[in-house]
Homo-oligomer: A and B are copies of this chain.
């Protein structure tokens, strides 16, 4: 087992009606908030009103920052941070999915600084302080609600970068599974894919950590047992709850304890796909994972077999990759570029160029340009 430090101070409020605790929790940080959200779906499904009622009830004034995009932009974070400064916001309240909460994290470190958020994400500066962040989660997927990580995209430099800093843990996160009832069928799917992919990134990291391995496969089993059921019964509170909690545990640091780190190569590949074609994060992962596994099949034979044993009762590595593809397909997620309409050679060449230019790869299982070409070929299979 590798040495590790585990620290996760987020207070997770999970269950029916937990947004009713938002006002009291927020009040301890002051009386002025920046309220961050996406393109208005929370106005339609009533979550905006729940939040605003809480703030009014506890005498917290706020200004809105609306319009965070699904692949959130650094430039929006900078605009929002300026808005927070101008208003004198004492806290950030982010209401939405991963993109909104990630943006909230960026705003939380940028607002009290002289920097643009990209200075932090690109490593030019380190956050010295942060506004407290309260997150109301409306999509089960990224795990951002209980970790210090965020992914932002910078159109100027053409990069999508993940960044983490301890000051970026949400102080409180409010997870009401009922707030995910209105998530579309496809985003429900992609969320399940995302949580499985996070678990796999840990699994294919480096370091012998048997209990963390068991937790990884526990989380994946949960997704595999209840994910397809959820597509059949999207208004089941219990199923929404199971998937929501699994997504949180998949990336709150726990699966990584005792390892050097996860690999994150597949996410790097997926980010390039999202950047180039604006496809949902989850969809990029269900395409990239099987391809990445096929590339590394010999090198990672032992780990793939162990995974197959735990999940599919097979120790055949090829069979395990097939089973994983079947699961993604059952979840109605794409497993080939064709499935998302990336079917002409120019598009595929552009993707390869972009992956190579940004040297998309993981921390451990390094990818050469030739490897990426093979991965593209696997992603392009019929």
In angstroms, Cα B254 to Cα A226, docked, is: 20
List residues of chain B with CB within 8 A of the CB of A1.
14-15, 177, 238, 241-242, 245
* A224, chain B: closest CB distance, angstroms: 12
Chain A contacts with B in 197-239, Cβ cutoff 8 A: 208, 210-211, 214-215, 218-219, 221-222, 225-226, 238
Evaluate contact between B211 and A218: CB separation under 8 angstroms: yes
Q: Which B-chain residue is minimally distant from A223 (CB atoms)? A: B211
Residue A257 lies at the interface, judged by CB distance under 8 Å to chain B = yes
Copies per complex of this chain? 2
Known: A218-B215, A258-B245. A12 touches B7 (CB 8 A): yes
* A213, chain B: closest CB distance, angstroms: 9
Residue A366 lies at the interface, judged by CB distance under 8 Å to chain B = no
List residues of chain B with CB within 8 A of the CB of A351.
none
* A174, chain B: closest CB distance, angstroms: 10
Evaluate contact between B9 and A4: CB separation under 8 angstroms: no
* A207, chain B: closest CB distance, angstroms: 11
Residue A3 lies at the interface, judged by CB distance under 8 Å to chain B = yes
List residues of chain B with CB within 8 A of the CB of A6.
11-12, 14
List residues of chain B with CB within 8 A of the CB of A8.
8
Residue A301 lies at the interface, judged by CB distance under 8 Å to chain B = no
Evaluate contact between A211 and B245: CB separation under 8 angstroms: yes
In angstroms, Cα B238 to Cα A4, docked, is: 14
Residue A246 lies at the interface, judged by CB distance under 8 Å to chain B = yes
Residue A2 lies at the interface, judged by CB distance under 8 Å to chain B = yes
List residues of chain B with CB within 8 A of the CB of A254.
254
In angstroms, Cα B214 to Cα A221, docked, is: 9
Known: A1-B241, A16-B3, A218-B218. A246 touches B11 (CB 8 A): no
Q: Which B-chain residue is minimally distant from A5 (CB atoms)? A: B13
Residue A18 lies at the interface, judged by CB distance under 8 Å to chain B = yes
Query: Hey, what's the 0/1 contact readout for A48-84 against B, CB within 8 Å counting as 1?
Result: 0000000000000000000000000000000000000
Residue A249 lies at the interface, judged by CB distance under 8 Å to chain B = yes
List residues of chain B with CB within 8 A of the CB of A242.
1, 210-211
Evaluate contact between A9 and B9: CB separation under 8 angstroms: yes
* A15, chain B: closest CB distance, angstroms: 3
In angstroms, Cα B14 to Cα A140, docked, is: 30
Evaluate contact between B245 and A222: CB separation under 8 angstroms: no
In angstroms, Cα B249 to Cα A15, docked, is: 22
Query: Hey, what's the 0/1 contact readout for A1-41 against B, CB within 8 Å counting as 1?
Result: 11111111111111111100000000000000000000000
Given contacts A8-B8, A14-B258, A208-B238, 20 further A-B pairs with CB under 8 A are A1-B14, A1-B242, A1-B245, A3-B14, A3-B15, A3-B16, A3-B17, A4-B12, A5-B14, A6-B12, A6-B14, A7-B9, A7-B12, A210-B242, A211-B218, A211-B242, A211-B245, A214-B222, A215-B215, A245-B258
6 A-B pairs (CB sep. < 8 Å): A1-B14, A4-B15, A5-B11, A5-B13, A5-B14, A241-B258
Top 10 closest A-B pairs, CB basis? Answer: A3-B15, A214-B218, A6-B12, A1-B241, A7-B11, A9-B9, A211-B222, A4-B14, A5-B13, A218-B218
